[in-house]
């Protein structure tokens, strides 16, 4: 998921945002599905 060219910090942030996006999507889906 992370390129060697990226700064480790940027890599970490990208990973966190990716996880946050997935969680947020599931939460919104659950709310809409309910």
Q: Which of 28, 31, 5, 1 has its CA nearest to residue 15?
A: 1
- Residue 6 has what pLDDT? 60
Q: Which of 14, 9, 19 has its CA nearest to residue 1?
A: 14
- Residue 14 has what pLDDT? 85
Mean pLDDT score across all residues of the chain: 82
What percentage of residues in the chain have a pLDDT greater than 90? 21
Place of tokens 């309910």: 34
**Contact assessment for residue 4 and residue 16, using Cβ atoms and an 8 Å cutoff:** no
Q: What is the mean pLDDT of residues 3-30?
A: 83
Instruction: Give residue limits of the domains in the chain.
Output: 1-34
3-state SS record for the chain: CCCCCCCHHHHHHHHHHHHHHHHHHHHHHHHHHC
């Amino acid at each position: 998921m992370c390129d060697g060219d990226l700064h480790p910090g940027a890599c970490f942030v990208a990973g966190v945002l990716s996880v946050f996006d997935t969680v947020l999507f599931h939460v919104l889906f659950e709310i809409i599905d309910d």
